[in-house]
């Protein structure tokens, strides 16, 4: 039986043009070779499986090729290229720093660098996982890396650039490899399927690409596993079953249950998810991702952020018509809160079930929730007309002796402002366009109200609210709230100001004597527009008063005590004013002395002195 070669090795790129998803890096390297501007050392960094070692090998092969093509790609026919393809090249050395991280390993490498190449132009040293080297090994290698022989090139590869010492980073040309996009991985898998004669569904390949999280090697490993499971075909259902992931259908169905107010359906579907072996937190994370996709569908400019197929975009678009931005934002906050609490919860299943009940209450029509009014946020489209007074009991009967021509003049009675206890009810749609009189009994009285017929189906498509419009409306609402707060601010006089001022001084006399001494002779005086003028003897006292948290603490105290947030200070410097004698704490004295003589800090540290606070 022929030995099986995994796809990650079988279809490993051997030229710059076949590298997947790193066009900017491969173009830069090819131009450097073409122009003769090749650096002496490179650092390739990025997540696993994105092509760092592959690009290092291609670069080593290319610069040693004796018959480069016009596109700066190796010929594959010269002695150097044949040696590389047969893994017998004498000019390319690979070192795993994870197992060769000592000073002795670096000294051996340095001795090897001194020997010039026998065939070819360059000797290339590829050090993988270079961040695993010890600090001593880095320092041993430092001089050789800074001034290597003309024939030596170093290519360092790492997944953790932050662990490499700065002296190494400064001597390397750094290339940051990005995660490979879902589109690029999907296209690469399709090319492999065509070469191998494997039938496939694009949606199944896309799930593999998403699961790989930007790593092509991970995607190819999953691809081989699924091919072994399913034979010469890859379908969406097979991929979902093999990788044991929750498919889109689960979240679409669950969200439909939310819109329908189907509590039993939600709980039973979640129970089915748990029975299939999935963790509740995985389900919550997927539900958050689903709500995010619905939110992105609310604005044309954010739709490209969704990494899904056109077919799935159409499904998301259809479901997004049933809701709007405000409830989706609330749903994301609920899911995020559940995700944060999940790990520390002793009742994990109950925590998720409570989340599902909250989402049903959020999304379901009010008629399915016993007439409970659905909360709304600023910027949400209004779908239903504000109802009139609640009808306790009554009957609907045909109009008798009613002038239908006055129907257009009838208006819906609105709930009086200030009555927060009024509980609105949802009206059922009535056929016909003529208004119908309603009879209502209240404490024995017969009251008749003529209300126009309003038909607004729940399932009708509401007007779209863009994310930008939502943000603008929210800012307008905040500005209106601030304006109302300013109107409700309490007025005060000089006597009230001094009462709160003296209270603050009494508090600071024991807690912060230095602040007390500064404010003691400030003589606060109330001016127009709630300005408080403070008089100080010189600009140094003024700067000290306005520095740090002193001004904020004083303002907060005055605003809270006088119930007025418009209070602000005006500082007046009076040179003729006698300065008060400042009272400083030992710590403040030490800090002032340290400003004049920084060596005092070292003196205190050397003698291990403590301040008497």
- For 258-296, the pLDDT digits (tens) are 999 999 999 999 999 999 888 999 999 999 999 999 999
- For 558-605, the pLDDT digits (tens) are 888 888 888 888 888 877 765 555 556 677 677 778 788 888 888 777
Radius of gyration of the chain from Cα atoms?
A: 37
Q: Where are the alpha helices (DSSP H) in 452-576?
A: 467-487, 494-511, 513-519, 539-545, 550-562
* pLDDT at residue 458 in the model: 43
User: Which range is most confident: 89-98, 349-358, 415-424, 591-600?
Assistant: 349-358
Distance between terminal CA atoms of the chain?
83
User: Which range is most confident: 75-79, 261-265, 313-317, 392-396?
Assistant: 261-265
* Paired residues of 157 in beta bridges: 44
Mean predicted confidence (pLDDT) in 199-208: 88
- For 172-192, the pLDDT digits (tens) are 999 999 999 888 999 999 999
> Is residue 460 scored above 70 in pLDDT?
no
* pLDDT at residue 258 in the model: 93
The whole-model pTM stands at 0.55
* pLDDT at residue 190 in the model: 92
Q: Any idea what DSSP says for residue 450?
A: E
Q: Within 10 A of 97 (CB to CB), how many other CB atoms are there?
A: 20
Q: What is the 3-state secondary structure (H, E, C) of 474-488?
A: HHHHHHHHHHHHHHC
Structure tokens at 307: 């990494």
Mean predicted confidence (pLDDT) in 83-101: 84
> Is residue 124 scored above 70 in pLDDT?
yes
Question: Alpha-carbon distance 369 to 362, whole Å?
Answer: 10
* pLDDT at residue 356 in the model: 95
Pairing of strands 436-442, 394-396: antiparallel
Average per-residue pLDDT in the chain? 77
CB-side neighbour CA atoms (13 Å) of 412 = 14
3-state secondary structure of 200: strand
Q: Any idea what DSSP says for residue 122?
A: -
Of 98, 95, 97, the residue nearest 124 (C-alpha): 95
Q: Residues with Cβ < 8 Å from 223, sequence gap 6 or more?
A: 7, 189, 192, 208, 234
* pLDDT at residue 548 in the model: 61
Question: Alpha-carbon distance 115 to 125, whole Å?
Answer: 13
Torsion, Cα of 317, 323, 325, 330 (10° steps): -130
* pLDDT at residue 41 in the model: 92
Q: Within 10 A of 383 (CB to CB), how many other CB atoms are there?
A: 15
Percent of the chain past pLDDT 90, that is, above it, reads 23
> Is residue 255 scored above 90 in pLDDT?
yes
> Is residue 416 scored above 60 in pLDDT?
no
The CA–CA distances, whole Å, from 185 to 20, 200, 223, 415 equal 8, 14, 11, 58
Mean predicted confidence (pLDDT) in 93-119: 86
Name the packing angle between helices 348-363 and 248-260 (round to 10°). 60
Mean predicted confidence (pLDDT) in 88-109: 86
* pLDDT at residue 283 in the model: 92
| Per-position b or e across 423-443, b if 16+ CB within 10 A of its CB | ebebbeeeeeeebbebebeee
What is the separation of C-alpha 78 from the centre of its chain, rounded to a whole number of angstroms? 50
* pLDDT at residue 369 in the model: 53
- For 31-48, the pLDDT digits (tens) are 999 888 889 999 999 999
3-state secondary structure of 341: helix
Question: Alpha-carbon distance 57 to 59, whole Å?
Answer: 5
> Is residue 385 scored above 50 in pLDDT?
no
CB-side neighbour CA atoms (13 Å) of 594 = 11
Q: Any idea what DSSP says for residue 530?
A: G
Percent of the chain past pLDDT 70, that is, above it, reads 76
* pLDDT at residue 470 in the model: 54
Sheet holding 436-442, edge to edge: 394-396, 436-442, 445-451
- For 5-18, the pLDDT digits (tens) are 888 888 898 888 89
Mean predicted confidence (pLDDT) in 111-117: 87
Confidence of residue 89 (pLDDT cuts 50, 70, 90): confident
> Is residue 73 scored above 50 in pLDDT?
yes
Cβ atoms of 416 and 388 within 8 Å: the answer is no
């Amino acid at each position: 039986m022929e030995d099986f070669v995994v796809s990650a090795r079988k279809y490993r790129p051997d030229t710059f043009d076949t590298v997947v998803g790193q066009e900017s890096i491969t173009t830069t390297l090819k131009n450097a070779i073409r122009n003769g501007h090749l650096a002496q050392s490179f650092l390739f960094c990025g997540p696993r499986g994105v092509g760092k070692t592959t690009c290092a090998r291609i670069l080593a092969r290319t610069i040693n090729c004796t018959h480069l093509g016009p596109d700066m790609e190796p010929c594959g026919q010269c002695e150097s290229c044949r040696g590389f393809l047969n893994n017998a090249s004498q000019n390319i050395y690979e070192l795993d720093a994870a197992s060769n991280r000592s000073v002795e390993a670096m000294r051996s490498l340095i001795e090897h660098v001194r020997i010039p190449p026998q065939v070819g132009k360059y000797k290339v040293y590829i050090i993988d996982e270079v961040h695993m080297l010890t600090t001593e090994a880095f320092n041993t290698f430092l001089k050789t890396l800074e001034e290597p022989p003309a024939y030596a090139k170093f290519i360092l590869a790492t997944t953790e650039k932050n662990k490499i010492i700065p002296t190494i980073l400064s001597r390397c040309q750094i290339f940051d490899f990005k995660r490979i996009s879902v589109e690029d991985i999907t296209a690469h898998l399709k090319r492999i399927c065509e070469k191998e004669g494997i039938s496939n569904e694009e949606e199944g390949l896309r799930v593999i690409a998403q699961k790989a999280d930007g790593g092509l090697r991970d995607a190819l490993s999953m691809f081989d596993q699924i091919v072994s499971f399913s034979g010469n075909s890859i379908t969406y259902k097979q991929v979902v079953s093999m990788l044991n992931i929750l498919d889109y259908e689960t979240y679409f169905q669950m969200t439909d249950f939310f819109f329908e107010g189907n509590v039993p359906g939600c709980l039973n579907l979640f129970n089915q998810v748990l029975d299939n072996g999935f963790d509740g937190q995985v389900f919550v994370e997927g539900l958050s991702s689903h709500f995010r996709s619905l939110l992105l569908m609310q604005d044309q400019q954010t739709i490209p952020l969704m990494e899904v197929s056109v077919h799935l975009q159409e499904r998301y678009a259809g479901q997004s018509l049933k809701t709007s931005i405000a409830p989706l934002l609330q749903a994301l906050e609920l899911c995020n809160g559940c995700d944060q609490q999940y790990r520390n919860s002793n009742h994990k299943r109950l925590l998720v079930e409570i989340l599902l009940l909250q989402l049903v209450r959020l999304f379901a029509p009010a008629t399915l929730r016993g007439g409970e009014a659905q909360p709304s946020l600023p910027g949400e489209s209004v779908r239903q007309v504000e109802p009139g007074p609640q009808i306790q009991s009554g009957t609907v009967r045909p109009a008798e002796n009613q002038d239908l021509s006055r129907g257009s003049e009838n208006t819906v009675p609105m709930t009086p402002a200030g009555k927060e206890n009024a509980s609105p009810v949802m009206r059922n749609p009535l056929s016909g366009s003529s208004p119908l009189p309603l009879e209502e009994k209240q404490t024995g009285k017969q009251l008749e109200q003529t209300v126009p017929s309003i038909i607004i189906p729940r399932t009708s498509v509401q007007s779209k609210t863009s994310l930008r419009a939502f943000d603008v409306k929210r800012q307008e609402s905040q500005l209106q709230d601030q304006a109302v707060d300013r109107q409700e601010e309490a007025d005060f006089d000089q006597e009230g100001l001094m009462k709160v001022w003296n209270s603050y001084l009494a508090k600071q006399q024991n807690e912060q004597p230095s602040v007390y001494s500064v404010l003691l002779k400030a003589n606060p005086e109330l001016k127009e527009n709630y300005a408080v003028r403070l008089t100080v003897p010189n600009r140094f006292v003024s700067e000290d008063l306005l520095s740090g948290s002193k001004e904020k603490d004083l303002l907060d105290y005055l605003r809270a005590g006088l119930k007025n947030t418009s209070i602000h200070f005006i500082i007046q410097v009076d040179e003729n004013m006698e300065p008060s004698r400042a009272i400083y704490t030992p710590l403040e004295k030490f800090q002032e002395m340290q400003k004049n003589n920084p060596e005092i800090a070292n003196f205190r540290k050397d003698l291990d002195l403590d301040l008497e606070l």
